[in-house]
Amino acid sequence: MQDYQSQKPIVLDILDAHRTMPGNLLPILHGIQDTLGYIPPAAVEDIAKALYLSKAEVHGVISFYHYFRTTPPGKHTIRICRAESCQAMNSKALENHAKQTLGVDFHETTSDEHFSLEPVYCLGNCACSPSITIDDEVHGRVTPEKFDQLLAACKGAK
Amino acid sequence: MTRLFISRDSTALSLGAEQVAQTIQAQTKDKHIEVVRNGSRGLYWLEPLIEVETSQGRIAYGPVQPEDVASLLENGLLEGKQHPLCLGNIEELPYFKNQNRLTFARVGLTDPVNLDDYIAHDGYQGLKNALTMQPTDIVKHVTDSGLRGRGGAAFPTGIKWNTVLNAPAEQKYIVCNADEGDSGTFSDRMIMEGDPFVLIEGMTIAGLAVGATQGYIYLRIEYPHAKVALNQAIAAAYQNGYLGENIQGSGKTFHLEVRMGAGAYICGEETSLLESLEGKRGLVRFKPPLPAIVGLFGKPTVVNNVISLASVPVILDKGGEYYRDYGMGRSRGTLPLQLAGNIKHPGLFEVAFGMTLRELLYDYGGGSASGRPIRAVQVGGPLGAYLHEGQFDTPLDYEAFAAISAVLGHGGIVVHDDTVNMADMARYAMEFCVEESCGKCTPCRIGSTRGVEVIDRIVSDVQKDKNTVLLRDLCDTMVFGSLCAMGGMTPYPVLSALNHFPEDFGLQKAAKV
Ligand SMILES: Cc1cc2nc3c(=O)[nH]c(=O)nc-3n(C[C@H](O)[C@H](O)[C@H](O)COP(=O)(O)O)c2cc1C
Ligand code: SF4
Ligand code: FES
């Protein structure tokens, strides 16, 4: 894990940029995660101080939302939709295939730190289920074969 | 100059629309063409779709893959000529032609982030009218239209606005609920990606109607493309005096900002959403007070779904009666339905209330994608009931659905063929509630965990009868003891699965009620 001292200036900048914004905690957390890939636990103290909140309150918000993470993600994050429409198009098989291929379960990162696997509940791509995202890109009608191709393309493009 | 249209809609992109657009551009460098990145028409089995503007209208080709591009160009794509992928004039396809596109009038037609294009296609007509009206008259149009909230609860929009209008306060807010968490729904996304100005216009009108000068769009994090389109459109609206201070010289002010959610389904519930916007955990608030009286930062707040707000411009443009003339009973206007799951022709179908589910599933949806019989259909998202074949003749109408203990919700329709195991689906509904409960009340938080366990016991034949009684009791407790519809409606999918498909739980079919 990275040393927080090198991340701290970034966190402080983000805090500063949102100082006067009403309801700024989520935008701040997004800002940090967008930049660093996760919210370093050590940042909680700085956030709490800047917003006049307790550390417990900040931590409570971070842990409430599925999207926020407190550990560094792999190079790419793969999200597999688990919701009903994708289930109706066999997403369970895809889910199993992905876990097996990557050798990880949900909320885990491969040992080469290449891929993090996360569940997601609907990507709004239900007209072309089953759906996954790799980073910000959505992919529809993903068969296990297509999954393998996408994975290979990711690895090729590293 | 020939104009081609290839969608920037995220479902079209998920099928390769970007690669198609790039291939076209690479192979037509020497030609005088413009590629417009439009929204999607919503005929998703035909995406990626290319449309070409001709004197015969917009001729469509699809579904197109990059390797088809060369042959399309050779065969006269740019002149709208024949090709095995040619579908003819897109607007003449029955799936499109037989819709009533009021809210979605421009989606797929225009360049979503081009303000001139928006205005050239009747955009900002509603705002123009609203700027000449008293707030009460704007609210009256919305009330007269019969519009009911499209986010799920179907509460009359005009009544909500009236409450906020009459709540005295220095500051009021318009909050757009763009959390669209229901599986099987994507109409909000299609509006935000395909015609963001219509939402901006609707929110601006709402601001004028109730006296609010600040709006927020609470957008789910799973919609990055919608975020981009909204921010592009908001920037254009600011630059051209449609947002900000002194809107079109009227002296009126309305500011608008997009805020991102963070992957919590419960934040679609309006009070949880407000907590989240305030920077807190998304714990559901007790009601009353209503958000209309004590809402965001304690101020009177309109919270409306994307589709509700995006339906306002046409109402203010053409009048409340125009909108009200569509529909049946107390369900007025149109509902953008979303066909998803195991269906041959998935997509968006905006139509006046009253069509039957069967017509939609078979005449337009074309039956299941797998070719197997359709066995169960979940309407209205993860908290909606599962319907069986015997219920497919129910008209799509709020009251008709309530009469069969079902909901229309946000209009999502998820189709399952006969390979589905309904005990699995019931279990999943409970599991989803465990995952997404805000944790504030026991029946929801603990009840759903117990629910998963009880279903497991029924399915694995442990004291089957006793546990079935227990499951029903548990559902009762959740229905009556939960603070919001998360815990209160999870029993809908669970009990409908149990009642209509008892055989999947290893129970006698005779147990059916
Ligand atoms: C668990 C839960 C999730 C909800 N999710 C959404 C949602 O994603 N989008 C939405 O517009 N309404 C959602 N609602 C309904 C809202 O609470 C609220 O009724 C709606 O935003 C009001 O807007 P409308 O009147 O325009 O429909 C949800 C309600 C519950 C109980
Ligand atoms: S029913 Fe569930 S989600 Fe709703 S308030 Fe209670 S615990 Fe929270
Ligand atoms: S259910 Fe998977 S994308 Fe909607």
- The residue-averaged pLDDT of B335-339 equals 98
Q: Which ligand places an atom closest to the C-alpha of B305?
A: 1
**Atom of ligand 3 at shortest distance to CA of A122?**
4
Report helix, strand or coil for A46.
Answer: helix
Measure CA of the first residue to CA of the last residue in chain A; give whole Å.
Answer: 21
Interval B137-152: pLDDT, tens: 999 999 999 999 999 9
Whole-number pLDDT of residue B513: 44
Interval B489-513: pLDDT, tens: 999 999 999 999 999 999 987 544 4
By CA distance, what is B386's nearest residue in A?
Answer: A84
Helix/strand/coil (H/E/C) assignment for every residue in B175-224: EEEECCCCCCCCHHHHHHHHCHHHHHHHHHHHHHHHCCCEEEEEECCCCH
Residues for chain A: how many in total? Answer: 158
Helices B464-481 and B442-459, packing angle to 10 deg = 160
Answer yes or no: are the C-beta atoms of B394 and B404 closer than 8 Å.
yes
How far apart CA B339 and CA B412 sit, in angstroms, is 7
A25: which chain B residues are within 8 Å (Cβ-Cβ)? 279-280
How far apart CA B66 and CA B146 sit, in angstroms, is 46
Whole-number pLDDT of residue A1: 54
Interval A75-133: pLDDT, tens: 999 999 999 999 999 999 999 999 999 999 999 999 999 999 999 999 999 999 999 99
Answer yes or no: are the C-beta atoms of B203 and B255 closer than 8 Å.
no
Q: Which alpha helices (DSSP H) does B215-336 contain, by range? A: 224-239, 270-277, 306-310, 312-318, 320-324
Answer yes or no: are the C-beta atoms of B191 and B107 closer than 8 Å.
yes
Interface contact A116, partner B, CB < 8 A? no
Interval B408-439: pLDDT, tens: 999 999 999 999 999 999 999 999 999 999 99
Residue from A80, A81, A94, A139 to probe ligand 3 pocket by mutation (most atoms less than 8 Å from CB)? A81
Whole-number pLDDT of residue A156: 83
B347: which chain A residues are within 8 Å (Cβ-Cβ)? 127
How far apart CA B351 and CA B480 sit, in angstroms, is 34
Interval B5-23: pLDDT, tens: 999 999 999 999 999 999 9
Q: How confident is the model at residue A155 (pLDDT cuts 50, 70, 90)?
A: confident
The answer to pTM > 0.95 is yes
Q: How confident is the model at residue B25 (pLDDT cuts 50, 70, 90)?
A: very high
Interface contact A32, partner B, CB < 8 A? no
Are B262 and A30 inside 8 Å of each other by CB?
A: yes
By CA distance, what is A134's nearest residue in B?
Answer: B14
- The residue-averaged pLDDT of B234-243 equals 98
Are A65 and B297 inside 8 Å of each other by CB?
A: no
Backbone angles phi, psi at B39, to 5 degrees: -75, -175
A85: which chain B residues are within 8 Å (Cβ-Cβ)? 183-184, 340-341, 412, 414
B383: which chain A residues are within 8 Å (Cβ-Cβ)? none
Whole-number pLDDT of residue A158: 52
Type of residue numbered B43: L
User: Residue with the nearest Cα to atom 30 of ligand 1?
Assistant: B269
Q: Residues of B numbered 205-234 whose beta carbons fall under 8 angstroms of chain A's beta carbons: which are they?
A: 221-224
Interface contact A68, partner B, CB < 8 A? yes
Whole-number pLDDT of residue B32: 93
Backbone angles phi, psi at A118, to 5 degrees: -130, 145
Chain centroid to Cα B133, Å, comes to 30
Q: How confident is the model at residue B112 (pLDDT cuts 50, 70, 90)?
A: very high
- Is any atom of ligand 3 closer than 6 Å to the C-beta of A58? no
Assess whether the previous peptide bond of B288 is cis (omega < 30° from 0).
Answer: yes
Whole-number pLDDT of residue B511: 44
Looking at per-residue confidence, does A69 or A2 come out higher?
A69
Answer yes or no: are the C-beta atoms of B215 and B208 closer than 8 Å.
no
Average pLDDT, chain B: 97
How far apart CA B258 and CA B199 sit, in angstroms, is 12
Interface contact B367, partner A, CB < 8 A? no
CATH superfamily of A76-157: Glutaredoxin (3.40.30.10)
How far apart CA A24 and CA A30 sit, in angstroms, is 10
Interval B153-186: pLDDT, tens: 999 999 999 999 999 999 999 999 999 999 999 9
- How far CA B380 is from CA of B29, B197, B321, B401, in Å, comes to 46, 26, 27, 10
- Is any atom of ligand 2 closer than 6 Å to the C-beta of B66? no
Domain positions in chain A are 4-64, 76-157
By CA distance, what is B214's nearest residue in A?
Answer: A22
Are B341 and A126 inside 8 Å of each other by CB?
A: yes
By CA distance, what is A58's nearest residue in B?
Answer: B280
- The residue-averaged pLDDT of B192-207 equals 98
Rounding to the nearest 10 degrees, give the CA dihedral for residues B206, B212, B213, B214. Answer: -80
| Mutation for A interface: B187, B265, B414, most A CBs within 10 A | B414
A23: which chain B residues are within 8 Å (Cβ-Cβ)? 259, 277-279, 296-297
- The residue-averaged pLDDT of B74-85 equals 96
By CA distance, what is B376's nearest residue in A?
Answer: A88
Q: How far is the CA of A128 from the centre of ligand 3 (A)?
A: 8
Domains, chain B: 2-97 (3.40.30.10), 115-324 (3.40.50.11540), 327-417 (3.10.20.600), 422-505 (1.20.1440.230)
Q: How far is the CA of B177 from the centre of ligand 1 (A)?
A: 7
pLDDT over 60 (residue B123): yes
Interface contact A7, partner B, CB < 8 A? no
Interface contact A52, partner B, CB < 8 A? no
